Amino acid sequence: MSHTCNYKPKIGISACLLGKPVRYDGGHKLNQFIKTNLENLVDFIGVCPETECGFGIPREQIRLEGNPESPRIVGKKTHTDKTERLSAWIQKKIMELKTENLNGFIFKSKSPSCGLYSLPVFTCNEKFQSTGTGLFTKAFIKKFPNIPAEEDSTLKTKTQLNKFLKNVFPAIKFNYMEKKMNFPDIINTLKSHSNPESIKGMARFGINPETALGVSMPTLRSIAKTAGKSHSLAEKLWSSGIHEATILASIVDDPKEVTESQLENWAHDFNSWDICDQCCINLFRKTPFAWPKAIEWSQRSPEFVKRAGFALMATLAVHDKKATDNQFNILFEAIKRESTDERNFVKKAVNWALRQIGKRNLSLNEAAIRVSKEIQLTNSKSAKWIASNAIKELTDLKVQDRLANTKNS
Ligand code: SF4
């Protein structure tokens, strides 16, 4: 079988690891690392023994108790013995899974039903006596001893995942680390992570939800890792217009290949503050155009372009370790001038830049407080807010202590 065949291994997995709300408290244990790295390569078959056997949600937490060789499943608080019900379901489920022809199974660690390694088994007097395996998992590995099985706690690195995949399907020379995600893969993955609830949450934070899918930043970072750095991929992602794809573009792009006209085009396209900030943080600040654009954009009228100017100032204050105090002193002029812009996304960014510069070292802290006091005298609601908020943070004892103790401050 070749590396390019379309066959996808079938992997059983504890359903809570896929983000299904099946835990005793109605929550889940989404494992973003496993999901993002494997979902395009395998077909997952989610299984939740406790929910599927009818324990319900929410339910009492359970644990293993009694003879370590054949422990029983018992309610943590009520001590009700639930072994019969779960065991009956396990017998049925194991027969069902036989027809699935699974190539592997990923179990949830620390679960009395699903855990594979080192689960505590208690005595009836609630004392720890030894370690064992979850009831479902024990039956599974007994019935299918040749199906590779692991638990999430041992699949935390790409090397561990790769090793597992090789066991899962040894006929394929399978090295997913060599397989980089391309543009269609990424768009499909983003769409598969679409979450309408998150989109509502984004809108509450003032993020433009128009083309958003509701994908979280940790997921985007995980996808970016698998995609690797690529300027051409970044261009395609940006052109897609999908909210999260544009943020991803700023992570995967190679700053060495970014041109000034690209920066201008992207800034022109900004329609949401988070895209603006992510581009400045992830990409723009690493290009040779960062300093000139910070000053130039701070004078432009469009709200998000002006914001980008101040967002660049803020990120340069945090990340550009080689910059001199004088470079930052020059920026105070733009901060004073634009502090009267009443637009929310500009106001917040001006304040952000002022605070970050003022937290760089003691001398800039003094200068930023002085500038804030000047701004405070301006007859503008926005200027007064920017100044008082910045003074509060810059004069805070913790900030002052940190600056006083920082070398070369
Ligand atoms: S660990 Fe197993 S039994 Fe517990 S919620 Fe997850 S899938 Fe269900």
What domains lie within the chain, and their CATH numbers?
Answer: 10-168 (no CATH), 183-405 (1.25.10.90)
CB atoms near residue 252 (< 10 Å): 23
Beta strands 119-122 and 43-47 are unpaired
- What is the pLDDT at residue 57? 96
- Burial of residue 293, with CB atoms counted within 10 A of its CB: 0-12 exposed, 13-18 middle, 19 or more buried: buried
406 to each of 40, 362, 394, 403, how far by Cα in Å? 47, 9, 15, 5
60 to each of 30, 63, 75, 76, 127, how far by Cα in Å? 21, 10, 6, 7, 19
How much distance in Å is there from the Cα of 154 to the middle of ligand 1? 17
- What is the pLDDT at residue 170? 60
Q: What is the best residue among 11, 18, 22 to mutate for testing ligand 1's pocket, by most ligand atoms within 8 Å of CB?
A: 22
- What is the pLDDT at residue 175? 42
How much distance in Å is there from the Cα of 223 to the middle of ligand 1? 26
- What is the pLDDT at residue 226? 78
- Phi, psi angles (nearest 5°) of residue 337: -60, -45
What is the C-alpha to C-alpha distance for residues 313 and 372, in angstroms, rounded to an integer? 16
Which among 397, 316, 380 is positioned nearest to 349, based on CA atoms?
Answer: 316
The token pair that represents 289 in the structure block: 């155009």
Whether 15 and 42 have beta carbons less than 8 Å apart is answered as no
Q: 90: Cβ below 6 Å to ligand 1?
A: no
For ligand 1, atom 6: residue with the closest CA: 16
Which among 235, 273, 264, 239 is positioned nearest to 252, based on CA atoms?
Answer: 235
What is the C-alpha to C-alpha distance for residues 132 and 117, in angstroms, rounded to an integer? 7
For ligand 1, atom 5: residue with the closest CA: 23
What is the C-alpha to C-alpha distance for residues 383 and 167, in angstroms, rounded to an integer? 62
Q: 62: Cβ below 6 Å to ligand 1?
A: no
- Burial of residue 184, with CB atoms counted within 10 A of its CB: 0-12 exposed, 13-18 middle, 19 or more buried: exposed
Q: 86: Cβ below 6 Å to ligand 1?
A: no
What is the C-alpha to C-alpha distance for residues 13 and 97, in angstroms, rounded to an integer? 12
What is the C-alpha to C-alpha distance for residues 70 and 64, in angstroms, rounded to an integer? 9
How much distance in Å is there from the Cα of 107 to the middle of ligand 1? 8
Residue type, 49: P
N- to C-terminal Cα distance for the chain? 62
How much distance in Å is there from the Cα of 199 to the middle of ligand 1? 28
- What is the pLDDT at residue 9? 83
Q: 13: Cβ below 6 Å to ligand 1?
A: no
Please give the number of the atom of ligand 1 that sits closest to the Cα of 114.
Answer: 2
How much distance in Å is there from the Cα of 14 to the middle of ligand 1? 6
How much distance in Å is there from the Cα of 118 to the middle of ligand 1? 16
- What is the pLDDT at residue 336? 98
How much distance in Å is there from the Cα of 34 to the middle of ligand 1? 16
Sign of CA dihedral 256, 259, 263, 268: negative
Q: 16: Cβ below 6 Å to ligand 1?
A: yes
Q: 246: Cβ below 6 Å to ligand 1?
A: no
- Phi, psi angles (nearest 5°) of residue 100: -80, -20
Run means of pLDDT, 10 residues per run, the chain, 409 residues? 54 96 96 90 94 96 90 93 97 93 93 93 78 93 91 92 81 47 87 88 94 90 85 97 97 97 97 97 98 98 98 98 97 98 98 98 98 97 98 97 79
- What is the pLDDT at residue 407? 60
Q: What is the best residue among 16, 62, 109 to mutate for testing ligand 1's pocket, by most ligand atoms within 8 Å of CB?
A: 16
152 to each of 70, 114, 164, 177, how far by Cα in Å? 24, 11, 11, 19
How much distance in Å is there from the Cα of 56 to the middle of ligand 1? 12
Give the contacts of 157 (CB within 8 A, at least 6 positions apart): none
- What is the pLDDT at residue 281? 97
- What is the pLDDT at residue 233? 96
How much distance in Å is there from the Cα of 47 to the middle of ligand 1? 8
For ligand 1, atom 8: residue with the closest CA: 48
CB atoms near residue 278 (< 10 Å): 21
How much distance in Å is there from the Cα of 106 to the middle of ligand 1? 11
pTM for this prediction? 0.60
How much distance in Å is there from the Cα of 20 to the middle of ligand 1? 10
Distant-in-sequence contacts of 396-404, Cβ < 8 A, 24+ apart: 399/359, 399/365, 400/365, 403/359, 403/361, 403/362, 403/365, 404/362
Q: 119: Cβ below 6 Å to ligand 1?
A: no
Cα dihedral: 65, 71, 73, 77 (round 10)? 0
Please give the number of the atom of ligand 1 that sits closest to the Cα of 115.
Answer: 1
What is the C-alpha to C-alpha distance for residues 400 and 271, in angstroms, rounded to an integer? 37
Q: 73: Cβ below 6 Å to ligand 1?
A: no
- What is the pLDDT at residue 68? 81
